[in-house]
Each structure stands twice: as structure tokens, then as C-alpha cells.
Chain A
Amino acid sequence: MDIVLQQLVNGLTLGSVYGLIAIGYTMVYGIIGMINFAHGDVYMVSAYITAIAIAILTFFGIESFPIIIVGTLFLTVAVTGAYGWVIERIAYRPLRSSSRLAVLISAIGMSLILQNYVQLSQGANQQGVPTLLTGAIRFSVGDGFVQITYMKLFILFVSLLGMGILTYVIQKTKLGRMCRATQQDRKMASILGIDTDKVISTVFVIGAVMAALAGVLVTLDYGAFDFYVGFIIGIKAFTAAVLGGIGSLPGAMLGGLILGLSEALFAGLISSDYKDVFSFSLLVLILIIRPSGLLGKPEVEKV
């Protein structure tokens, strides 16, 4: 019993990480209908910046966890946001009027560039960050126990907070209205005076910021990363976004949670060898039953 509960906890925390990264995919897709393959690598860049920020802060003798985490978050979000903006400006904006596939290839190229640029400047070795926050809450269940580390609680809290703020921004603010207008009809939106280029840039920055948030939290939690770390987690997050219905914010989070849970439960109760096979099969199955994902709006076929 304790084991099953523990696996649920494992799945939820893993899922919230997927969800956080999936938001970046889903927002970009929602607004301009492109799969941003470089998103996983933006996450990877943010992991490096996290470690660099921590290294610099500790170099100046700062030891307290709150200051380090706030400083790191600030620095990482700022720099990663800049990456998001520049990537959009260089690799995607010139292709605004081209076919979606051209943008996709450009994104794959961008992903290669980011990976190798980081590898060349930082070296190919495995990197790590020191453990800053240890300890866990434990509940005894039967003769075993279920635990959730403080770091995991922190991740859950921040991702829910991030989701909440983002939902508020998209639903209630002027910026959000402009985003939604651009999503529905880019041409019409620009006729109505919305600077769609700017909106799209903003969306990319928001996507990168969410990736940065995930980058800081996950790097602090797992401690290990290298220049290749964005690939697997990127694919998983993308799967989560599609599972939940790409383009839908709550869908991304839901998809992430489902994916995380299914992985943890399958790995924990059946076999960790085939957990990815199971996840992808689940995805195929869900898409066969609901062709636009769990919370996605069915595409209206226009003649």
C-alpha cells in the first residue's frame, strides 16, 4: 500500500515537471501553430544557467537557501527569456509566411545549434549542482512510509503558482486578450491594431520563462544535467502537451500529470523497461478515441 501511494507521489511530481515544460510547447503551438522543437534545449540552457548562477552566488559567499533560490530564479528567468526572444527573432520570424514544415526544420536546426554551442563552451562533461535543500515529510502507512521531499513540495507549489499566474494573464489581462486574438485569427488581429509580431515574441518569452522555471527547479532537485538533457524531457513534455490537447493550457498540465503518473505506476508496478512503450501506446490510444487530445478543441473543418 505504501508503495502504491509512494508511486502516486512520484508520478505527480514527475508529472508537474512535464506539465511545466509542456506549457511552453502548447503556448507556442496555440498562437502560431508550430512545434517548437528547440524548447527542450531552452530548458537545457536554463539548467546550465541555474548551475552557473549558484556557482557565482556561492562564490560571493552567499549560503542561505532563500537568497540563492531567488537570485538563481531571477537570473535564470531573465537570461532564458532573452534566449527565447532571440531564437524567435533569428530562426522563426523570417519564416513567418512559409510553410509550417520549414519552421519545423529550422527549429530542429536551432536545437542542434543550442546543444552544440553549450557543449563547446561548457565541455561535454556531466554537470551537477550541490544539494541545497534536503529532508522530507514522511507519513507512515502500514509498516512502511510514504515520503515527499521538501524540494518536490516546492516544485509542486511553484508549478501550480506558475500555472495560476499564467492562466490569469491569458484570461484576464490585455496581453492575454491580444494573445487569444492572435491565436484565433492573426490577420484579423493585426487589422485591429494588434502588433502580432510583438505578441508572438512575448509568447516565446513566456514559453522560455516557463522552461526556465522548470530548469531551475528540476536541476535543483535531480542535481545532474548535461547538454543533452533537453532531448528526452522535451519529447516527454511534447507528448504531454499533445495528450492534453495541444494549444490548451490546462490540457498541458493535465497531460503532464497523466504522463507522469502512468510512467511511475507502470515502472513501479509492472516493468521499468517498457514504461516508455506504455506511455506512447497510451498516447496513441487516447488520440484514437479523442483525436484532438483530452482537452483540445476539435478542429472545425472549414471548406
Chain B
Amino acid sequence: MSNAVIRKTLISLAVAGAATLAQADVVIGVAGPHTGAYAAFGEQLWKGAEKAAMDINAAGGINGEMIKLVKADDACEPKQAVSIANRLVDSDDALAVVGHFCSSSSIPASKIYEEAGVIMVTPASTNPTLTDQGLPNVFRVCGRDDQQGDVAASYIVDKLNAKRVAVIHDKDTYGKGLADAMKATLNSYGVKEVMYEGLTRGEKDFNALITKIRSVDADVVYFGGLHSEAGPLVRQLREQGSKAIFISGDGIVSDEFVSVAGSPEYVDGVLMTFGAPPTSYPSGKKVIQEFRDSGYEPEGYTLYSYTAMQVAVAALANNNLDPIKGAEWLKSHSIDTVMGKKDFDDKGDLTVSDYVMYEWDGQGKYNVVE
């Protein structure tokens, strides 16, 4: 039993006893890179969580108590992630955390949440290690890199019939994890990659690497990484006259991918794996419309973050605000979210992976590949 819970209960008792109108808030942390190089993703997380909290509060909150969000910035640095995780569980008495974004932050922070008995639902950390640690309180509403890699690899082998695959990654937890997962499945199909190399994040000149891709005569280039590198990479690939098919993962799901690549013509035909489109869930239509009405396009992880908040709230609401029981409860119940029904397995992963292949067109939009 965590201190936080005892304190919470005491406070709510005291409030009830005093019969005032003031309500004890349920604190939920939203942890992610709100500053630094990944701040754009941090904003998606915050927007999604904020909207979810507003909607839930408007509908009466959690068992009558209002949600209070705490913004926790880790800048995607493990050091800061540990520090704010301690702060969330200790000073802010958070009962649940939506976050973190980067897997390298989520992994060290998850241990602190486990010790404190706080539910952690990450909307974006796809690295398998996170849930493979076997912590009882960790959940994710996104897929795992190995699932994503599977989808990409079978597409490459079955649909594209490609024999010469170059695998590039950005040497980061997410990018390399994804590339490794894809490579493993690819090899299990009997296709050996012709090239496997990393590039340095933050650099923009990949010409040397691309000349090398040209020299191995690859017909598919698989990239594990984010759009900041994928954009220049695909552009320079086309500039050097390569016609290889470019495939990547959910790290390039952003309109910025097009502007970074220099022109929509460069992203034409680029393939990527990403969760089934949120619009395909009837339950999400209303929320998406409300986002658009407020002038914000719910891109990338926004709805994942909304979903994560719903999962965390469901766990708390059905278990008298006890996060430890809530975590156990989540593993045997399915939750209705804006992205459909979600079920978790014993590790805290989703039971169903919903990755599908998308293709970018010449107008800079992406659509599901049938």
C-alpha cells in the first residue's frame, strides 16, 4: 500500500467530513519531452492527455473527483526522467502517469513507478524491453517494435518480393530497436540484408551512406528512426538517382516529414507502418472532430495519449483509486477508448497489434495500403 494512496484517502475523508464543496483532485502526471529536441512529440502527448482529462472532468471526473494534470518534462534524458518520476510519485502524489515518450526515459522511470505503486501507461514507447522487464504496473497503448518490424518484414517479402534490403537505423533506442526487429523477421524469412548501418542523429548529410546504398544495389531501404533524419535521407536518396523503395516505421508519422524532405515529390511512394488510422474507430470520430474544431490537428501520438489517459482513468475509477489493484484489474478487463476496445496481456502489452502499412502520395498525405 503506497503512502500516496493512504494520504489521498485521508484527504478525501477529511474533505467529506468537512462537507465542503472543494474536491480532492486525482493527480495524473503527463511525462514527456516538453522541451528539447523532441518537444513536438511532447506537445502531442500533452494535447491528447489534456483533452482527455477535460472530457472526463466534464463528465463528472473519476468517481466524482476531478483530474488534475501535472506536466512533467524529461527532455528525453534518462537522468531527468528519473528525477521527475520521483517528483511525480513523491511531491505530486500522482496515482497514474501517462508517458514517457522516449523508451530510454520510460525504462528507468518505470522502476520508480513500480516501487511507488503507480500505474504507468505509455502512449508511445515501443521498445520491447519496457514491458519485458516484467513490472506489474507498466502498460502501453501502442504496439511493440517487434510487432511493427514483423509487419514491415512480411510486407517486404510477400508484397514487394524484395531480395536486396538495406537496413538503416539512427543508433537510438527506438530506431535501432525497430530496425533490429525488422531485420530479425526478415532473416527468418530467409532474406539476408545487404547492408546494416547506423547514421548519426542530428546530422543532415547522408550522401556517403547513400552512395553506399547505391553501390550494394538495394531495391528496398528500411529506415528505423524519426522523420528529422528520414526526410533528408529520402531526399538525398532520390537526388542520387536511386529508385529503391523507402520504408520506415511510426517515427515518420508527421506532416513535417514532407516539409523536411523538401518537397512532396520526394516522399511519394514512401511506405510506413503505423497503427490502424484512428479515424477507422467509430468511437474516435467525435474527439477528432472536436480537436479539429479547436484548430488542432490530432497528429501522431495525440490520440494515443488520449487513449492512455482513458486507460489510466478506467483502472483508477473501477478500483477505488487504488493503482496497484487497478494495474491488476487492467489485465483482465477490456477498456473502451477512442481507439476502440483495448485488452492487455500479462506483460502490459496490447493483445492485438493493429499495425498496418501506409503509403505517402505525391500530395504529402498518407493512406492505408490495401
Chains A and B directly touch (beta carbon < 8 Å): yes
Chain A residues whose C-beta falls within 8 Å of the C-beta of B203 in the assembled complex:
232-233
Among A71-79, A158-166, A249-257, A263-271, the one that faces the other chain is A263-271
Nearest chain A CB to B128 CB, angstrom units: 22
Among A2-10, A93-101, A208-216, the one that faces the other chain is A2-10
Q: Does B38 contact A (CB under 8 A)?
A: yes
Is A123 a contact partner of B231 (Cβ separation < 8 A)?
Answer: no
Q: Does B227 contact A (CB under 8 A)?
A: yes
Give the distance in Å from the alpha carbon of A233 to the alpha carbon of B43 in the complex: 27
Is A229 a contact partner of B202 (Cβ separation < 8 A)?
Answer: yes
Is A128 a contact partner of B256 (Cβ separation < 8 A)?
Answer: yes
Given contacts A128-B259, A136-B239, A222 and B204 within 8 Å (CB-CB): yes
Give the distance in Å from the alpha carbon of A48 to the alpha carbon of B154 in the complex: 41
Give the distance in Å from the alpha carbon of A3 to the alpha carbon of B231 in the complex: 23
Name the contact of A224 in the complex, choosing from B207, B231, B254 (C-beta under 8 A): B231
Name the contact of A272 in the complex, choosing from B198, B227, B258 (C-beta under 8 A): B198
Give the distance in Å from the alpha carbon of A116 to the alpha carbon of B260 in the complex: 20
Q: Does B279 contact A (CB under 8 A)?
A: no
Is B200 a contact partner of A3 (Cβ separation < 8 A)?
Answer: no
Give the distance in Å from the alpha carbon of A271 to the alpha carbon of B200 in the complex: 12
Chain A residues whose C-beta falls within 8 Å of the C-beta of B47 in the assembled complex:
none
Give the distance in Å from the alpha carbon of A192 to the alpha carbon of B349 in the complex: 75
CB nearest to A230 among chain B residues: B202
Q: Does B215 contact A (CB under 8 A)?
A: yes
Nearest chain A CB to B180 CB, angstrom units: 14
Is A267 a contact partner of B208 (Cβ separation < 8 A)?
Answer: yes
Q: Does A83 contact B (CB under 8 A)?
A: no
Q: Does B140 contact A (CB under 8 A)?
A: no
User: Within residues 20 to 35 of chain A, which ones have a CB less than 8 A from any CB in chain B?
Assistant: none
Q: Does B40 contact A (CB under 8 A)?
A: yes
Q: Does B228 contact A (CB under 8 A)?
A: yes
- Interface mask (A245-286 → B, CB under 8 Å = 1, otherwise 0): 000000000000000000111011001110110000000000
Q: Does B35 contact A (CB under 8 A)?
A: yes
Is A128 a contact partner of B198 (Cβ separation < 8 A)?
Answer: no
Is A10 a contact partner of B37 (Cβ separation < 8 A)?
Answer: no
Is A223 a contact partner of B262 (Cβ separation < 8 A)?
Answer: yes
Give the distance in Å from the alpha carbon of A21 to the alpha carbon of B87 in the complex: 42
> How many residues belonging to B are interface residues under a CB distance threshold of 8 Å?
42
**Number of residue pairs A-B, CB distance < 8 angstroms:** 123
Chain A residues whose C-beta falls within 8 Å of the C-beta of B171 in the assembled complex:
273
Is A267 a contact partner of B212 (Cβ separation < 8 A)?
Answer: yes
Name the contact of B37 in the complex, choosing from A6, A226, A272 (C-beta under 8 A): A226
- Interface mask (B74-100 → A, CB under 8 Å = 1, otherwise 0): 000000000000000000000000000
Q: Does A119 contact B (CB under 8 A)?
A: yes
Is B261 a contact partner of A223 (Cβ separation < 8 A)?
Answer: yes
Chain A residues whose C-beta falls within 8 Å of the C-beta of B205 in the assembled complex:
10, 14, 17, 222
Q: Does B240 contact A (CB under 8 A)?
A: yes
Q: Does B235 contact A (CB under 8 A)?
A: yes
Give the distance in Å from the alpha carbon of A273 to the alpha carbon of B40 in the complex: 27
Is B208 a contact partner of A10 (Cβ separation < 8 A)?
Answer: yes
Nearest chain A CB to B168 CB, angstrom units: 9
Q: Does A64 contact B (CB under 8 A)?
A: no
CB nearest to B199 among chain A residues: A272
Residue among B171, B200, B204, B232 with most chain A CB within 10 A: B204
Chain B residues whose C-beta falls within 8 Å of the C-beta of A276 in the assembled complex:
200
Q: Does A131 contact B (CB under 8 A)?
A: yes
- Interface mask (B179-214 → A, CB under 8 Å = 1, otherwise 0): 000000000000000000111101111011101101
Give the distance in Å from the alpha carbon of A144 to the alpha carbon of B263 in the complex: 27
Given contacts A130-B262, A224-B232, A125 and B202 within 8 Å (CB-CB): no
Is A124 a contact partner of B40 (Cβ separation < 8 A)?
Answer: yes
Name the contact of A223 in the complex, choosing from B208, B215, B260 (C-beta under 8 A): B260
Give the distance in Å from the alpha carbon of A136 to the alpha carbon of B242 in the complex: 13
Q: Does B39 contact A (CB under 8 A)?
A: yes
Is A272 a contact partner of B208 (Cβ separation < 8 A)?
Answer: yes
Name the contact of B232 in the complex, choosing from A3, A125, A223, A232 (C-beta under 8 A): A223
Chain A residues whose C-beta falls within 8 Å of the C-beta of B37 in the assembled complex:
124, 226-228
Give the distance in Å from the alpha carbon of A276 to the alpha carbon of B198 in the complex: 12
Name the contact of B209 in the complex, choosing from A3, A136, A232, A267 (C-beta under 8 A): A267
Is A126 a contact partner of B202 (Cβ separation < 8 A)?
Answer: no
Nearest chain B CB to A267 CB, angstrom units: 4
Q: Does A149 contact B (CB under 8 A)?
A: yes
Given contacts A119-B35, A126-B40, A138-B241, 16 further A-B contacts (CB under 8 A): A10-B207, A14-B207, A123-B40, A126-B228, A126-B256, A127-B260, A149-B239, A218-B204, A222-B232, A232-B202, A264-B208, A267-B209, A268-B208, A273-B198, A275-B200, A275-B208
The 6 listed contacts between A and B (C-beta, < 8 Å) are A3-B215, A10-B208, A13-B207, A224-B231, A229-B202, A271-B197
| B residues neighboring A (CB under 8 Å) | 35-40, 42-43, 171, 197-200, 202-205, 207-209, 211-212, 214-215, 227-228, 231-232, 235-236, 239-241, 254, 256, 258-263, 266
List 7 A-B pairs, minimum CB-CB distance, nearest first.
Answer: A124-B39, A223-B262, A128-B259, A267-B208, A222-B204, A10-B207, A264-B208
